[in-house]
Amino acid sequence: MRIPGTLYGSLLFERPEHRGTVARVESFLSRPGPLGVEIGFDHGMCLLDRARRFPAANWLGAEVRRRRVDAVSRHAPENCLPLRVDGRALLALLPPGRVDWLYVLFPTPFGDRRELFSPEFGEVVARSLRPGGIVYIRTDVATLHASATAVLGSWARSEPPPLGTELSRRERVCARDGIAVYDLCVRSKSP
């Protein structure tokens, strides 16, 4: 599946040099239990917290910054796989209906060229989620919230998926400085 604007290309995993990553993901996906995916885990505090609090679930994280991935990988429990990849390319790699919970917490706005919340993103999310799967988006950027709502706003509203108690670095800043935070939590359509 081609996804415009995907960093490193949406067909990244079809390249021979990424076979090792594909094999790691496939092996990880063979584990029993629900699957949570976090796009842009930054310092990984929330991803690691959920992995420790909910050990029966599996947690896959996507982040494009190598140093962040390396740092989180050193602390990741067995049920957590942090990867250096654009989250859109990772979702395109996953089997249809495999994701139970998708988290996009405080994404960095990149501009129109690599806008995360595009119609193509909505398609790859719908394809990757199991029926009734949950998408949880938090941002302090009103335009990102509006874009996410434009793409996913017609889906049924939902209660949040499993959350830990750890706050992301950006969420702490927002709480400290009184910056407004916007949530969108929706459920994919059941068959």
Q: Is residue 41 part of a domain?
A: yes
Structural domains in the chain (count)? 1
Q: Is the pLDDT of residue 154 over 60?
A: yes
Q: Is residue 4 part of a domain?
A: no
Q: Is residue 5 part of a domain?
A: no
Q: Which domain holds residue 134?
A: 12-187
Tell me the per-residue pLDDT of 53-72, one tens digit each, with 9 for 90 and over: 999 999 999 998 999 999 99
**The domain spanning residue 154 has which CATH number?**
3.40.50.150
Q: Is residue 175 part of a domain?
A: yes
pTM across the whole model: 0.88
Give the strands of the sheet with 58-63, arranged side by side. Answer: 80-84, 58-63, 35-39, 99-105, 129-139, 182-187, 156-157
Q: Is residue 113 part of a domain?
A: yes
